[in-house]
Structure 1
Amino acid sequence: MTQSIYGLTVDYLNDHGHFMVLSSAHGLQQNELSDFQLNMLAANRIPHLLELQLEAKEGDVQLYYRITGKRMLAHFLRMEKLTMHRYFSLLHRIVEVLCDSKVYMLLPDRYILKEEFIYCGSGLEDLHLTYVPKEQLEGKEALSSDLQQLASKWIHRVTELHGTGYQELMNCLFEENFNLPELKQLLLKHMRLTSSSAAQPPAALSDPHPRDEPREWTSIGTAPPAAREKPAIALDRHAADSVRNDAADLLRIETGFSASAVPGAPISSESIPDSHERAVKDIGRKRLLLVLMAVLVVCFIWKWYAESMETSLLYGCAAATAAVGAATVLLLRKTRPKQPQVRAEEPVYDIPEQGDSRFFNEIGLSDPAEPEAFVPPKEPPAEMHTTLLQRNDATVFLGKTAQALETAQIPYLEYSNNGAYEKVPLDKSSFVIGRAGDGTDWVQEEAGVSRMHAEIVKEDAGYGIKDLGSKNGTLLNGEILVPYRVHPLKEGDIVKIVTKELVFKMGL
C-alpha cells in the first residue's frame, strides 16, 4: 500500500534512524529540483524544518527526511484537545515558519501543509514542517487554501468556542490580496485576547455542542479556492440571547427602562441588573451605621448613670436602653433590602380558531352533537382482490432481507482471553489500538502499550496496519513494522502488540 502526494510517493524507512522518504514513480530527476534551494538547505540548519538528505540511485533522486524521535501532528491532535489560545498559537507557529523561510530564500508554497507531514518534537510548540525543493508540485493548491483547510479542520478540536477570532481568521484567508504578515499579526492579536480571557472565557459564547454532534459552522473550509467568498458565520441561539441581554442592560442604564422593554429580552434571574447589588451594599452600610449609632447612644446613657450611681436612675437608664434597642430593630426592618422580582416567562396557550368546537367541548359549553352513523367500509371491487397464483409451499423471493444485511462481512480481530475467543469488530476506516484515553478505539491495558500504539486503516486496496511510532513496536507475522508505513493485511495475519496476539479475519 503506497501513499502519494503532489505526484510524489511516500514511504518510511528504519535505517540508522527513522526517515520519511519522498520519491517519484517515474523517477525523480535532479533537474526537477532547485539547486539553489538544495544548497541553501544543505548549508543552513533551518529551525522548524525536517532535516533533509538526498540520495541518488541509478539516476533517480530520493528525498530523506529525518523524523527520529518525532510524532505526526495528526496523531498528536487526536490525543489532545485544543483551547482557543492553543488553536491560534498552533496556526501562528506554522505561519511564523512560512514567514521566516523568506530569510533563507525558500518559497512558502513549497511546504506540504498536511497533518501527516507536520511533526511534533517535545510538544505542539516544537513543530517541524516538510519542505520540498522541487520546481513545481503537481496539483498543489494555493497557500491560503492549505491554511483554510487546516484552520477549518482544527476548529473542531477546540473544546470551547468564544469570540469572533475564527470568523476574522477565515475572512483574512479568503481575501483576494492575502498576505502572510497580515495573517501573522491577526493571529498574534487573538493569541493575546485568548490568553487574557483564558481564566474566565465568556460563557455566553461557549460552544453548546458536544464534540460528537455536528457543529453549526458553514463549510467555508471546503469552499473551492476560485470562489473566494467571505464566509458568513451565524451566531447560535445562545450568542443571540447574550446580545439581547446586553442590549437590555444598556437600555436600562441609559434610559431607566426595565429589561422587559426590549423585545425578545428574556426576564430571568440571570438578567438581574448590577444596580441591585450596589443598592444592597449601600443599604448594608446604612444598617451598620445605624447599629453603631445605637451602641454609641447606649454608652452615653450608662455613662450618665455611672457618674451619679443613683438607684432611681438605674431603672430609667434600663428603660432608655430598651427603647433604643427597640427603635434600632424597627429601623433595621424598614431598611431591609428588597428582593428583586423575577418574572417567569408567561406560558403560551394554544387558542383555538373560530369554528373549532373541541375547545368548547372540553369546557362543556358546546351543544350535544348527534352521534355519527356507522358506515361500513366498502369492499374493494373484484378486480382489486389478491389471487393466489402459486402453491402454498412454493419459495418466494423477498430480495435482501435484514438477516442478510446482518451477515455482511465486517472485518475483525480475534484474540484469546482465558481460553475463550473474543472479537474486536473493525467498524471504522481508521481504527486505533492503544492505552486508555482519548483517541483510541480499542483499549489494551498492558504494560508497554503506547497511548496510541497501532492503527488499522481501510483503503481502496483493502485493509492495512501501521505502527504509530510506539516505543515497543508492532509485529506482523513475527516481523517488526516500520513506523507510519502501511502494511497490507490478509486473512489470518497475526498482529502482536507487546504480548497479545490479534488474528485478522475478513468477516463475521
Structure 2
Amino acid sequence: MFGLTRDFVQQDGIRMVLGGREGMPISKLNTVQSRMLSSLSIPHHLRLFLKEVDLSVTLEYSVSGKKLLSHLLKGARLSLAELYGLLLQVAEGMEAGRLHMLRPEQYVLHEDYIFIEGPLQSGKVYLTYVPLEMIEPAQSLGESLKGLIMALMPSVTELNGDGVQRLLHYCGEDECTALGWKELLSALLTEDDGERNSIVNAETAAAASTSTEAVKLPVAEWRGGEKTRRWKDEDDAEPDLAIDAASPPNGRNSSKKTYILLGCILLDALLWKYAYLDHPGRLPLMLCGLATVVFIAISALTWIGKIGGSKSEEEEYLEEETEDPGNRFSFGFGSASPFGRQDKFDVSQKFQSPTVERSKRVSAGILEFGTGEQETEWAEEHPKTSDSGAATVLLSREKAPASVEAKLREGGLPYLERTEEGSDRRERIELNRTSFIIGRSSEVAQYVEPSEGASRVHVEVFRSGGGYVLKDLDSRNGTRFQGEAMIPYKEYPLADGDAFTIVKGNYTFHQR
C-alpha cells in the first residue's frame, strides 16, 4: 500500500510499522498531517508515532487491544444492519479526518489495515491514515470503498433489499465523497429500522387477532400495577403487555400499606399519651414499650408485603411457572396464556442472524490482496435457500483451489507434523488451503488444537509468493516460533524444519 512495507513490533504494546523498503525520506512526510495524527486523538484513527533514524522515518501505529478486521472476518458473521453500522463508522472516521485536513484518498481502506476494538458486530473501528505529501492515489475513494464492501460481503449472513446495490452504485459515481457515503448509510440504517418496526407491528396485530378467535379468552392483564385475570371479549381484545421490572409499585397495595403504617403510629402515640403520660409508672412504661415493639413488627411485615397486600408480581409469576411450566411462555409481547400460545413468538428472534452450516455456503467473490498483486478467488458450493426465497446468503470460501487439489492428489503439498509434550504420537496435517487456520474453534479453524488455553483462532499458515508464512492472530497465550515468542500479526516466513508451539502442541513445517 502506497509503496510501503508493513511489519509489527512489540514496543510499549503492539505497533504496526509502515516504512519504505530502503527507508522513507522525511521530506516525503506531510508534517502538518503527521502532527495532527500524533498529537491529537481523532475519532476512529490509529494513534501515530514517528521514528526518525538517519533522516529516514517510519510510521508506527499503536494497535494494542485491537484486532485486524481480516482476522475477525475469519470467525464472525454480520447481519445487514451490522454491516451498515461498521461502514458508517468508516465514513464517520473519514469525516472526522476531513475536519483535521486529512485527505480521504490517503486512508488504507483494506481489511488488513482496519482494526476493531471489541467484537466485530459492535466494536469501534480504527482507520490507518498515511500522512504523505501529495501523491497520486492507486485507486479512487469509490474503488477503495467498493473493495471494502466486497471483502465484507462474504461474512454477511443474509442480504435483503437493495441497500448493498445502492452502496456499490454510489461508489461508482464520480461525486463519491465520505459525506455522501455517510448520509447514504444513515438513510439505509433508518430504512432498516423502519422495516423492522413495520414487521413488529404486523406481528403484533397478527398475534392480537389470533388470540381472539374464540369469543372469550382468559387473559392476564395489568391494572394499576396489579395483575388480575378477567374474561376478554372480541371487541376489546388487545395484546398482552409485559411489565418492566422498573415499573412503579402497585398503587392500591401502596395506599393500603400507608394507611396501616399511619394507623400504627397513631395508635402508639395515643397509647403513650393516655396510658403512660397521664399515669406515669413502671407497669404502664413496660406495657407501652411492648406495644411499640408490636406496632413496629406490624409495620415491618406490612412494608415487605406479608400483611395487607397481595403476592408480589414476581412471586405470582414464579408460582404459575412452577405449577405448569409447559403452558406458559415469555414472549416479546408479554406473557401468553395457554390459549393460542403456538401463534405467538419472540419477534426479536426474527432478526437474529441464522446459523449456516459449512456445507451450505453460497458462492461469493472474494478479493484477496497480496504484496503488490491482486487476485480474485471464487468459491462455489451448494446454495442455501431461505424461507422467503429472496434472500442471499454469502459466507466465506471453503473449497480449495484446483491447483492445490492437484498437488494434494500428487502428494506434493507441504504439511505440518504435530507432536505433544509427554506423548510419542505424531500427526500429519496437510496444508491443503491457501489460508490454513489452527485454533480452538471447529467452526473456523481447519485444524482444532486440543490443548487447553488455545485461542479460538490462534495462528494462520498461508501462502505468500513462493512460500508459506506463519502469523499469530493475537492469541491470548501467544505462540512460540523457533523458541521465541511471536509478535501478533507479524509474518514469519517458514522454511523446511521450522517449528512453532501452541500451548502444548509442537508443530514442525515440512516443505514436502
TM-score normalized by structure 1?
0.59
Out of 2, 17, 21, the residue aligned to residue 21 of structure 1 is: 17
* Alpha-carbon shift at residue 407 of structure 1 (Å): 3.8
The within-5 A match list for 1:433-448 is 433-448=438-453
1:411 aligns with 2:414: yes
Structure 1 stretches of at least 4 aligned residues deviating more than 3 Å after TM superposition: 136-139, 195-203, 206-222, 236-243, 402-408
Question: What is residue 496 of structure 1 aligned with on the other side?
Answer: 501
Q: Return the alpha-carbon distance in structure 2 between the equivalents of residues 237 and 454 of structure 1.
A: 33
1:241 Cα offset (Å)? 7.7
Which residue matches 1:141?
139
Deviations along 1:280-299, one digit per CA (max 9) or x if unpaired, are: xxxxxxxxxxxxxxxxxxxx
CA distance, structure 2, for counterparts of residue 404 and residue 12 of structure 1 = 33
Task: Verify: 1:79 aligned to 2:82, yes or no.
Answer: no
Count residues in correspondence.
Answer: 330
Q: Is the 8 A contact 1:436 1:445 kept in 2?
A: no
Written as runs of structure 1 = structure 2, the 5 A alignment for 1:60-459 is 60-124=56-120, 125-137=123-135, 140-197=138-195, 215=362, 406-416=409-419, 418-459=423-464
Q: Secondary structure at the match of 2:497?
A: coil
Distance 1:218 1:37, change over 3 A: closer
Deviates more, 1:443-452 or 1:49-58: 443-452
Distance 1:415 1:173, change over 3 A: same
Name the CA shift for 1:137/1:454 in 2 (closer, same or farther; >3 Å): farther
Query: CA 1:211–1:145 in structure 2 vs 1: closer, same or farther (change >3 Å)?
Result: farther
Determine the structure 2 residue equivalent to 1:395.
Answer: none
- Tell me if the contact between 2:111 and 2:151 (Cα under 8 Å) persists in the aligned partners: no
CA deviation string 1:227-273 (max 9, x = no partner): xxxxxxxxx99899879xxxxxxxxxxxxxxxxxxxxxxxxxxxxxx
The answer to whether the 8 A contact 1:11-1:22 is kept is yes
Q: Report how far residue 116 of structure 1 moved.
A: 0.9
Find 2:48's aligned residue among 41, 52, 55.
52
Q: Does 1:474 align with 2:472?
A: no
Question: Where does the alignment leave 5 or more consecutive residues of structure 2 unmatched?
Answer: 201-346, 370-383, 392-404
Name the residue aligned to 1:318.
none
Give, in whole Å, the separation in 1 of the partners of 2:79 and 2:184: 17
Q: 2:99 aligns to what SS in structure 1?
A: helix
**Alignment partner of 2:429: what SS?**
strand
Matched residues in 2 for 1:189 and 1:142: separation?
A: 23
Do the aligned partners of residues 219 and 48 (structure 1) sit closer, same or farther apart at CA in structure 2, a change above 3 Å counting? closer
Secondary structure at the aligned position of 1:188 is classed as helix
Distance 1:15 1:105, change over 3 A: same
Unmatched 5+ stretches in structure 1 = 223-235, 244-401
Secondary structure, aligned partner of 1:115: coil
TM-superposed CA distance for 1:137, in Å, is 5.0
Cα distance in 2 between the residues matched to 1:403 and 1:485: 30
Matches of 1:188 and 1:164, distance apart in 2: 15
C-alpha change, 1:214 and 1:57, in structure 2 (3 Å) is: same
Structure number with higher strand proportion = 2
Matched position secondary structure for 1:79:
coil
Higher alpha-carbon deviation: 178-187 or 49-58: 178-187
TM-aligned CA deviation for residue 136 of structure 1? 4.1
Q: Give 1:499 deviation, angstroms.
A: 1.2
Comparing 444-453 with 406-415, greater Cα deviation is found at 406-415
Cα distance between partner residues in 2 of 1:21 and 1:29: 15
Q: After TM superposition, give the deviation of residue 120 of structure 1 in Å.
A: 1.0
Corresponding letter in the other structure for 1:171: H
CA gap 1:170/1:210 in 2 versus in 1, 3 angstroms: farther
In structure 2, C-alpha distance between the alignment counterparts of 1:421 and 1:216, rounded to whole Å: 36
Give the Å deviation of 1:208.
Answer: 13
Aligned partner of residue 91 in structure 2, secondary structure: helix
Report the residue type matching 1:456 in the other structure.
V
Q: 1:210 to 1:500 in 2, by over 3 A?
A: closer
Deviations 1:293-320, CA, capped at 9 Å, x for gaps? xxxxxxxxxxxxxxxxxxxxxxxxxxxx
Secondary structure at the residue paired with 1:40?
Answer: helix
Structure 2 CA distance for aligned equivalents of residues 202 and 15 of structure 1: 45
Contact 1:9 1:24 survives alignment (8 Å)? yes
Q: For 2:128 and 2:153, locate their aligned partners in 1 and report how far apart those are by CA, in whole Å.
A: 22
2:118–2:124 Cα contact (<8 Å) kept: yes
Kept in 1, the 8 Å contact 2:499–2:506? The answer is yes
Q: Decide whether aligned partners of structure 1 residues 138 and 468 sit closer, same or farther in structure 2, where only a CA change above 3 A counts.
A: farther
Structure 1 contact 495–503 (Cα < 8 Å) conserved: yes
Q: Deviations over 1:433-465 (max 9, x none)?
A: 111243211111222111111111111141121
User: Aligned Cα RMSD in Å?
Assistant: 3.4
Distance 1:446 1:194, change over 3 A: farther
Task: Give the C-alpha shift of residue 143 in structure 1.
Answer: 0.6
1:275 corresponds in structure 2 to none
User: In 1, Cα distance between the equivalents of 2:9 and 2:481?
Assistant: 16
In 2 relative to 1, CA 120–242 (structure 1 residues): closer, same or farther, beyond 3 Å? closer
1:88 Cα deviation (Å)?
A: 0.7
Q: What is the TM-score with the length of structure 2 in the denominator?
A: 0.59
Q: CA deviation at 1:482?
A: 1.4
1:193 CA drift (Å): 2.6
Judge conservation of contact 2:154–2:366 (CA < 8 Å) in 1: no
2: distance between equivalents of 1:46 and 1:412? 45
Q: Quick check: 2:154–2:364 contact (8 Å CA) kept in 1?
A: no
Q: Is the 8 A contact 1:162 1:202 kept in 2?
A: no
Contact 2:160 2:390 in 1 (8 A): no
Q: Which whole-Å CA distance do the structure 2 matches of 1:483 and 1:405 have between them?
A: 30
* Partner of residue 510, structure 2: 505
Match of 2:269 in 1: none
